[in-house]
Amino acid sequence: MLSLLVNALWLMLPAYFSNSSAVLFAGKTPIDFGKNFIDGKRIFGAGKTFKGLIGGTLLGITVGLLQQLAKAGSQISVPSFDPIFVIVTLSFGAMLGDLAKSFVKRRFGIDRGRPWPIADQFDFVAGAWILTYLFFSDWFVHNFTPPVIAVALILSPLLHLAFNQIGYRLGKKREPW
Amino acid sequence: MLSLLVNALWLMLPAYFSNSSAVLFAGKTPIDFGKNFIDGKRIFGAGKTFKGLIGGTLLGITVGLLQQLAKAGSQISVPSFDPIFVIVTLSFGAMLGDLAKSFVKRRFGIDRGRPWPIADQFDFVAGAWILTYLFFSDWFVHNFTPPVIAVALILSPLLHLAFNQIGYRLGKKREPW
């Protein structure tokens, strides 16, 4: 059980860091360049910037590389990011999931920052998993076993909330969720 | 692939029917007896009645029994509801999931009938799976393999929407979702 928890946490760390750190790289240029979709509402909204997308992804990748180094240096018994590119799909996928959620949120007319429970907590998890599965299905199925997935689904909203609280207290986030 | 689709549909039918038919058994006595929670808002709301809960569960159970009879009578290659009580946990679990969602919705102050995307489409799926897993974990793990779960997750919102459209056109539902 403890090993399940450690494995789930280990596998999700790049996604947690990329998703939660995007807000630290505030940035100015929005990914949608301020443009509206065909419904007259913003494509993604002002909250989604290139700097956040790229900064968050790079931090997630950095964390994954550090994890892989720590594993190699210490022989701790945790899953291996091998092929190493899964770190990219986990980190960038997390950002894409969040972006896709924002797109849908704008279509529903939900303002930036207004909560959409469940979608807000799992957008990045779904994005990280789907992108990684698409590119590295063998690695995904081998590492994200049903019990790991179950633990990750419970863990993710809790850590997401914890990370967001930190961002809020640091004054980097306008809402504590 | 077709067999995956058939198996997922077969396994979910009791939950689909119980969840979608509750609205047909309109009923008057609400499960919360009209009482408020400690936050001053209704516990579940006027939309959740004993008649709906019991009628929906019984219809789901009936559908499951008919399926099991059809399987026994025709030797069609579909999963077996064995132990037969999984039909009860699938049907009643679907209702409990919906009820739990209503409870949370009221806490968030979301009015009855106002949509909560994702939660609305998956509440009954989560309820059916969790209750069945709690009582019949072996049967669940054996039948709800990761591919079946993946197909069921795609299938469920589509069928949920289709069923709700029928309810709406029959004049039994106030919203088409």
> A17-74, pLDDT tens digit by residue?
999 888 788 788 999 999 999 999 999 999 899 999 999 999 999 999 999 999 999 9
If you average pLDDT over residues B68-72, what whole number do you get?
Answer: 94
Q: What integer pLDDT is reported at residue A25 of this predicted model?
A: 85
Predicted confidence band at B177 (pLDDT cuts at 50, 70, 90)? Answer: low
**A–B CB contacts, 8 A cutoff, strictly below:** 14
- pLDDT for res A112: 73
User: Residue B74 forms beta bridges with which residues?
Assistant: none
Three-state SS for B74-109 is HCCCCCCCCCCCHHHHHHHHHHHHHHHHHHHHHHCC
Question: Reduced to 3 states, what is the DSSP secondary structure of residue B115?
Answer: coil
Q: By three-state DSSP, how is residue B143 classified?
A: helix
The closest CB to that of B119, out of A108, A118, A141, belongs to A118
CA distance to partner chain A, nearest, from residue B41 (Å): 19
List the single best residue of A103, A114, A118 to mutate versus B (max B Cβ within 10 A): A118
Please tell me the predicted confidence (pLDDT) of residue B173.
74
Encoded tokens for B104: 């949370």
Arithmetic mean of pLDDT, A82-103: 97
pTM: 0.83
* pLDDT band of A177, cuts 50, 70, 90: low
C-alpha A83/C-alpha B10 separation (Å) is: 38
For the cut 70, the answer to whether the pLDDT of residue B137 exceeds it is yes
- pLDDT over threshold 90, residue B113: no
Q: Which two tokens stand for residue B122?
A: 């998956």
Q: Which residue among A104, A117, A119 places its CB closest to the CB of B108?
A: A117
Q: Which of A156, A145, A140 is nearest to A9 (CA)?
A: A156
Could you tell me what percent of chain A has a pLDDT over 90?
A: 73
**Tokens 């037969």 label which residue?**
B84
Q: Which amino acid does the sequence have at A88? A: V
Q: Which two tokens stand for residue A116?
A: 């959409």
SS3 B90: helix
Q: What is the pLDDT of residue B168?
A: 79
Percent of chain B with pLDDT strictly greater than 90: 72
pLDDT digits 0-9 by tens, B18-49: 998 887 887 889 999 999 999 999 999 998 99
Q: Do B108 and A118 touch (CB under 8 A)?
A: no
Residue ranges in chain A assigned as alpha helix (H): 2-21, 50-74, 86-107, 119-135, 137-143, 146-169
Q: Do A119 and B116 touch (CB under 8 A)?
A: no
Spatial CA neighbour of A129 closest among A115, A142, A118, A140 = A140
Backbone angles phi, psi at A21, to 5 degrees: -90, -15
Amino acid, res. A141: V
Question: Are B36 and B42 contacting, i.e. CB atoms less than 8 angstroms apart?
Answer: yes
Is B61 within 8 Å of B103 (Cβ atoms)?
A: no
Cβ-Cβ contacts under 8 Å, B116 against chain A = 117
pLDDT digits 0-9 by tens, B72-94:
999 889 999 999 999 999 999 99
Q: For chain A, what is the largest distance between any 2 Cα atoms, rounded to a whole number of angstroms?
A: 54
C-beta neighbour count of A66 within 10 angstroms: 13
| CB-CB neighbors (< 8 A) of B108 in chain A | 117
Nearest Cα of chain A lies from the Cα of B20 at a distance, in angstroms, of: 22
For residues A117-131, b (16+ Cβ closer than 10 Å) or e, as one string?
bbbbbbbbbbbbbbb
CA B139 to chain centre: 18
- pLDDT tens, A111-123? 777 888 899 999 9
Average pLDDT, chain A: 92
DSSP A30: B
Least confident of B8-17, B142-151, B160-169: B160-169
Tokens linked to B151 = 């197909």
Cα B2 to Cα B7, B139, B143, B147, B152: the distances in Å are: 9, 22, 16, 12, 13
